[in-house]
Amino acid sequence: MAACSSDSSDKGSGGGSTPKTSVAKITVFPADGTTDASFTEPVRVTVADGKLGSVGVTDSTGKAIPGQLSADAGSWTSSGPLASGTKYTVAAVAADRDKLEADANTSFATATPANTFVGYFTPEDGSTVGVGMPVSIRFNKAVTDRQAVQEAITVVAEPGVEIVGHWYSSTRLDFRPETYWAKGTRVTLKLRLKDVEGVKGVYGTQSKDVRFTVGRSQTSVADLKAGTLTVTTDGQVTATYPIIGGAPEHRTWAGKLVVSEQFPQTKMDSTTVGLGDEYNIPDVPHAQRLTASGTFIHGNYWAPASAFGKANLSHGCIALQDVKGAADPNTNGAKFYRSSMAGDVVEVINSGDKTVDPSNGLNGWNLSWADWNAGSAV
């Protein structure tokens, strides 16, 4: 019978004993359940009466946020950026001096910024463009931290070439190589503006890639003294057209002008460019914009045929002979338009006017490479 009895003082017995609990105490910042944590502040995990063994911070997709454990294993601080409007989970394990483990499993969400900015880009994703097309980004709010914003934007090309950004103003940043793109180049604009503080308290929202391709190489020279437009495609002269340029009182800008928009027909009204009521033509055929201020190369059906190649009569535009209605594919205006694409370059020489302002349209090629680089913030 004695064999069936037990001694309650026997230390080998598990009856009624309580397992020891770790005295290590883990604290996580931001606190568990926070819904508006700052995405500009790091996650910080600390332990009292113990040492941290492992800390993991992940977003809702499972992506881990990197961090650094202190030398004494008493704290861990995230080193990678957090994203706004995102939920995170934290899992931490620590051990006290008796090797007993404690853990913490918490979650929090970062705030969505109240004030944001975006960049509107040219050219469009998936487009095919001419060799003179820059990457142009216009911001909807004035940027004060140009370096931070420019560092968040990269432009890469295949085949590779150096590409540099240039700030025209606090709302416009363009990128280009030293010389025109090679035909067939594949270009990628990488916008990583999300949560970049462009202005104090104002954050970017975009994280996306934009890809475009450079088509065949076509540049043209408009010689307003000779009255000719000479078109060179892939190294060969493919056409020469008689043209009309700006009259002495309305000379055409000189320099390298990039086609930014194309219209089969468009209305041209002198009141929109500060020239009073000198003209109002509702159906200008085969028009291609060369400056933001209103310079076009376009078809013209109202000037006498004898004027083309012989006289400069326009209000600053370059004109090729065409017909009303833009319906004849055999006119010079139609043929040049059909051969062109956005990003092509029309270089104007012998116009008698000064070189176009590089910021007037997509015309940064009129800056030297040194001057272009001087406009970079990085």
Confidence of residue 278 (pLDDT cuts 50, 70, 90): low
Tokens 């359940």: give the residue: 33
Rg of the chain on CA atoms, in Å: 33
Q: What is the pLDDT of residues 338-355, one digit of tens each?
A: 999 999 999 999 999 999
Closest to 163 (Cα-Cα) out of 133, 196, 118: 133
pLDDT for res 275: 67
Provide the 8-state DSSP code for 110.
B
Tally Cβ neighbours within 10 Å of residue 132. 26
Q: What is the pLDDT of residues 119-139, one digit of tens each?
A: 999 999 999 999 999 999 999
CA distance 174 to 292: 15
Provide the 8-state DSSP code for 144.
S
Sign of CA dihedral 139, 149, 180, 169: positive
Non-local CB neighbours of 303 within 8 Å, separated by 6+ positions: 244, 313, 319, 321
CA distance 118 to 141: 8
For the cut 70, the answer to whether the pLDDT of residue 10 exceeds it is no
Confidence of residue 370 (pLDDT cuts 50, 70, 90): very high
Confidence of residue 19 (pLDDT cuts 50, 70, 90): confident
For the cut 80, the answer to whether the pLDDT of residue 17 exceeds it is no
Q: What is the pLDDT of residues 53-106, one digit of tens each?
A: 999 999 999 999 999 999 999 999 999 899 999 999 999 999 999 999 999 999
CA distance 165 to 117: 19
Better-scored residue on pLDDT, 166 or 279: 166
pLDDT for res 276: 67
**Under the phi-then-psi rule, with left for phi > 0, alpha for psi from -120 to 50, and beta for the rest, what region is 53?**
alpha
For the cut 60, the answer to whether the pLDDT of residue 358 exceeds it is yes
CA distance 277 to 260: 26
Helix (H, G, I), strand (E, B) or coil at 29: strand
Q: What is the pLDDT of residues 322-335, one digit of tens each?
A: 999 999 999 999 99
Q: Is 318 exposed, middle or buried (0-12, 13-18, 19+ CB in 10 A)?
A: buried
pLDDT for res 1: 38
Beta strands in 64-142 (DSSP E): 67-69, 75-78, 87-95, 101-109, 116-117, 119-122, 128-129, 135-139
For the cut 50, the answer to whether the pLDDT of residue 52 exceeds it is yes
The tokens describing 98, both together, are 């008796």
Segment 237-255 mean pLDDT: 96
Amino acid at residue number 319:
A
Cα separations in angstroms, 100 against 15, 71, 106, 110: 21, 20, 20, 33
Q: What's the mean per-residue pLDDT of the chain? A: 93
pLDDT for res 153: 98
CA distance 129 to 122: 10
pTM of the predicted structure, to 2 decimals: 0.85
Q: Is the peptide bond before 113 cis (omega within 30 degrees of 0)?
A: no
**Contact 150/377 with Cβ under 8 angstroms?**
yes
